[in-house]
Homo-oligomer: A and B are copies of this chain.
Amino acid sequence: MSGSTPRRPRRHDPGRRDRLIDAALTVIRERGVAGTTHREIARTADVPLGSMTYHFASLDEVLAEAFTRHAALVARVFDERLSAARDRDAAVEAVISLVSDDLLGSQHDLVLSVELYVAAARNPALRAVTQAWMARSRQALERHFDATTARELDALIEGLVLHSALSTDPMTPGQIRHAIYRYLS
């Protein structure tokens, strides 16, 4: 008999704030920023609504933290891939793999990035997140390319990924490789 209602035995769990940020990312991925609400995040993380206002001052704060985490994750992948390359040829291959495997591999995360761009266009706090992220990926590229090339290459990558992700007919790894090689002459 006893409590058939699934109890919520979760008093005092440290790291709940972290889980909420992860839940927020999940919700943004699935429903977009527009569909991201306190209630939806709480439901996803299986915590009561009140928990949101306890841990965050506002919904904007949640969004900012979620995007910061997303940016950090993507930036880390950039760093790892590029720091493993030991010469320029390897760096070029790393970039191609980055685009083909990491960025285009997970459609979800790409949309997340574009959502961040849009949100940043309206919200100055998020703008800082976007810029820090851009700066970091450019910096990773500068390990192997001069500053101008890094910037242009970064833009090309952005365009290829965006174009690809929104098209019904995404670019194949071979086409990605072709475009990058052509740019790098």
* Per-residue B-contact encoding for A74-85, CB less than 8 Å = 1, 0 else: 000000000000
Segment with Cβ contacts to B, from A6-14, A39-47, A158-166? A158-166
Check: A148 CB closer than 8 A to any chain B CB.
Answer: yes
In the bound complex, what is the Cα–Cα distance between A154 and B105 (angstroms)? 21
Q: Is the interface of A mostly helix, strand, loop or mixed?
A: helix
| Closest-CB distance, A106 to chain B (whole angstroms) | 13
Do the beta carbons of A134 and B182 come within 8 Å of each other? no
Closest to A183 in B: B183
- 21 contacting pairs across A/B (C-beta < 8 A): A32-B122, A111-B118, A114-B114, A114-B117, A114-B121, A117-B162, A121-B166, A130-B166, A131-B166, A131-B167, A131-B168, A148-B178, A151-B163, A156-B156, A156-B183, A158-B159, A159-B162, A162-B162, A182-B183, A182-B185, A185-B185
